[in-house]
Chains A and B, each alone.
Chain A
């Protein structure tokens, strides 16, 4: 935290101003990671970030700062599609996996039916098919904008990094 004889936060360093004891940025943009603030400033602008943080209760600001850094990173990596590219890529992966799952579940049904020549009560078959439909209905998120991603690896790298990557806010 700035303003007590310690070094100014990354924001105040970049903005070349005095870092007050109640600096809105200091808890979330420490001086040892100047890149984090630089990138949100580039995409959103310091005053917009400040406004957004001020409008939130204190206990939500850490996550808000992290998600802003995340979105800013996504926009810098993919200036056309930003986070939407990642969303599209993930949606596609989810759809493909759901199809593979449906095929695998159908295969189990098919093996069952082949090995049990006695006709199963229709109630049981209908239940299996209804369960499958209900799985699709329950698990299909609404389709977002159908954007491709200009960077193909977005979804995979997000999978490995997790939502906020490594140490977005220390």
Chain B
């Protein structure tokens, strides 16, 4: 049986042992994936981070490291922090909009008939 090296060991030009920490998460058919994480984190840092985790959590960790590495490559200044900032802004805007809408509801309810024309179109009156 031919032992296929994982993307990491191919890149690093080394033998891929049977217990290679990288091979379940960096298969040989996707070399770009490892190249991205290696470029941002370095292979040894990735190995250290994966080794510190139980094996059941390593797939998610590898996936998120890949995602963050790709984000950093696409946006070398802010990486995925840009997305967080955008979401925080959106959260803030939506909260303001919600507060405004609820205030409008309270006004409509307290005013009763006839005064919603102050808020909405007045052409029916």
Does A8 count as interface, using CB distance less than 8 angstroms?
A: no
Cβ contact within 8 Å between A45 and B57: no
Residues of B within 8 A of A75 (CB): 49, 68
Identify which of A63, A90, A105, A139 contacts B88 (C-beta below 8 A). A90
Identify which of A44, A84, A158, A164 contacts B80 (C-beta below 8 A). A84
- For chain A, the bracket of interface size reads 35 or more
Q: Mask for B91-102, Cβ within 8 A of A = 1, else 0?
A: 110110110011
Residues of A within 8 A of B42 (CB): 44-45, 47-48
**A96 CB, min distance to chain B CBs, angstroms:** 9
Does B45 count as interface, using CB distance less than 8 angstroms?
A: yes
Does A111 count as interface, using CB distance less than 8 angstroms?
A: yes
Identify which of A63, A85, A101 contacts B94 (C-beta below 8 A). A101
Residues of A within 8 A of B90 (CB): 94, 139, 141
Cβ contact within 8 Å between A55 and B76: yes
Cβ contact within 8 Å between A70 and B81: yes
Counting from the closest, the 4 A-B pairs by CB-CB distance are A90-B87, A67-B81, A84-B64, A104-B101
Residues of A within 8 A of B (CB): 42-45, 47-48, 52, 55-56, 60, 63-64, 67-68, 70-71, 75, 79-87, 90-91, 93-94, 97-98, 100-101, 104-105, 107-108, 111-112, 115-116, 118, 124, 139, 141, 144-145, 147, 158-159, 162-164
